Structure 1
Amino acid sequence: MSASDAAKKVIPDSAALNARLMRRATYAAVAVAILLIAMKTVVYLFTGSVAMLGTLLDSILDGTASLINLFAVRMSLTPADDEHRFGHGKAEALAGLGQSVFIFGSAGYITFEAVQRLIEPAPVQNSASGIAVTVFAIALTLVLVAYQRHVVSQTRSLAIEADSIHYRGDLLMNLSVIAALILSGYLGLHWADPVFGLLVAGLIAWSAAKIVMNALDQLMDRELSDEDRERIKTIALEHPEVVNLHDLRTRSAGIHSFIQFHLELERDITLMDAHRISDEVEKAVMKAFPGAEVIIHQDPAGMEKLTRLQRI
């Protein structure tokens, strides 16, 4: 088996594992969202808390976003075909942009309700039930976020990362809801509920902005991080027969990375040796970046400098 064949065998196994992790993460997020929506709806009807309304609406949006992610992940994992030679990974970024619209709308609605409550204060009822449900929501969300972070660390999925941002924000929101219920329900500070509602709205809007920025990075083919680019260079130059490399270009789409560069080799080696060296470098890069598509062009050492001089 050649070096390139060995590398290609590793990639499908890694891709299949990532696909399973991503699907399970989407199912878990939808299940958690449905449970939290049902519980928070009941508690909001009992308490009338604006802060609870904020976290209820956020859970509804989380559920909607998680459902969108479920379909987006299925699409992004669809293999490349004749019309989509680079795969369908950007479906995740498009889903992220779609989520952000809903999230910004939610933040606006919570802001409106909170301002109305500041103008016309109203006491919060049944604070104890609200606190109990919120504590349960925090525990459940912590478990989900921990699993999502594990999946993101393995797959670098934008869709799962976007979902995780939602639920990490939920943790802060739920803590603010507890504070609002205590201050308003037990201490009679009725202004606390709408104020914390405004804080919740701000957190939701900030989460949406982060999702938009991450999605645009993928849609605009932004380079991988400086750390990853340096890692690629280091891997290539570690090969004893590689002289240098240039024109490194990278981008990502969903869980897939695309890496291409020119490899500078000694001028007097055979074509077979150049092919072998490139295969060995390709295998090393693929091992460090599972699921990546790597394209390497071989150049005689010093040819890049000569070409630049000829252009002057």
Structure 2
Amino acid sequence: MRLASYAAVSVALVLIAAKLVAWLLTGSVALLSSLVDSVLDGFASIVAFVAIRQALTPADKEHRFGHGKAEPIAALGQAAFIVGSALFLSVEAVRRLWSPQPVAQQEIGIAVMVFSILLTLALVAFQRHVIRRTGSLVVSADSLHYKGDLLINLSIIASLVLTGWFDFPLADPVFALGIALYLIWNARGIGGEALDMLMDRELPDEERRSILVMARDHPGVLGVHDLRTRAAGPDRFIQMHLELDGTTSLAKAHAIADAVEAKIEAAFPGADVIVHQDPHGIPDAPRDNPPAPAGT
């Protein structure tokens, strides 16, 4: 995760410098939109870097559940910053629609966009590897920006070609406006996912079902209830009540709970799993969990 944040910040700084020079030479508002997006990426990557450092800080006596929520807080800030920048870009694009301006030295702009695409492809590939390993929300949000950049850079190449070679100056602000709308749509998804994590939304149903299956698979477990799950950045928290034979000794009940915890922790590395044991058949035991798939 740290390596991914270092790589993202470095790529963003290189692209900001290259696109700033290209925009000053061409005057293209579409290229300006790409520059704004790269500035966003740089800001988001720096926020991600800080959030990852905080999220990976071990739990302490003031933060017994760790610091994982630094990730969704950072992602929410990223989303707000993206929306603000997209609105600024929209205003500039509308102004250019009413007053189109010529674009100069399109070849330089196209060359910078091709360079940006190649560098971004390498970064996205590395981020995808990190996300598979860690499931990090903030790296995922950061990667989403750069994936969007690939489409943005391709659209800007099309804009420069249409404006410079086919004398269609309106293509420049039209593409810029489309990019602004795309950024707002992405921010909506990032913000929603961050809010879910901050509000302690349950893990996806598929993961909850797999947890129930693993718990019920133990021969000493007669039932499961009160499964509660949540995520905080890279950390998962899983709690449940196991229903055991009421005559089971305390030592045996403890051993069964340990075995279930170990199995779940193996499937969800790094998860904080807490299991409580209840005698089977308690009449007021909640039954609000999704059933396991048939045959389990």
- TM-score class, shorter: over 0.9
Residue 302 in structure 1 maps to residue 275 in structure 2? no
Cα offset for 1:153?
1.6
Deviations 1:32-74 (A, max 9, x none): 0001001000101111111110010110111011011111110
- Same amino acid, percent of matched pairs: 56
Task: Give the 3-state SS of the residue equivalent to 1:242 in structure 2.
Answer: coil
Residue 237 in structure 1 maps to residue 221 in structure 2? no
Structure 2 match to 1:178? 157
In 1, are the aligned partners of 2:15 and 2:38 still within 8 Å (CA)? yes
- The structure carrying a bigger helix percent of its residues is 1
Deviations 1:258-283 (A, max 9, x none): 00000111222111110001101100
In 2, Cα distance between equivalents of 1:157 and 1:214:
12
Cα offset for 1:306?
5.0
In 2, Cα distance between equivalents of 1:221 and 1:230:
18
Structure 2 match to 1:139? 118
Deviations 1:122-153 (A, max 9, x none): 11111111111101111111111111122112
Task: Give the 3-state SS of the residue equivalent to 2:222 in structure 1.
Answer: strand
* Larger RCO (CA under 8 A, 6+ residues apart): 1
In 1, Cα distance between equivalents of 2:271 and 2:285:
29
Structure 2 match to 1:10? none
Structure 2 match to 1:117? 96
Q: RMSD of aligned C-alpha atoms?
A: 1.0
Q: Which residue, 94, 100, 107 being the options, matches 2:79? A: 100
In 2, Cα distance between equivalents of 1:234 and 1:145:
35
> TM-score scaled to structure 2, two decimals?
0.95
**Superposition pairs for residues 72-83 of structure 1, below 5 Å?**
72-83=51-62
Cα offset for 1:284?
0.4
AA in 1 matched with 2:176: G
AA in 2 matched with 1:170: D
Q: Which residue, 267, 270, 279 being the options, matches 2:246? A: 267
AA in 1 matched with 2:104: Q
Q: Which residue, 246, 249, 253 being the options, matches 2:232? A: 253
In 2, Cα distance between equivalents of 1:190 and 1:297:
68
Structure 2 unaligned runs (5+)?
287-296
AA in 2 matched with 1:234: V
> TM-score scaled to structure 1, two decimals?
0.90
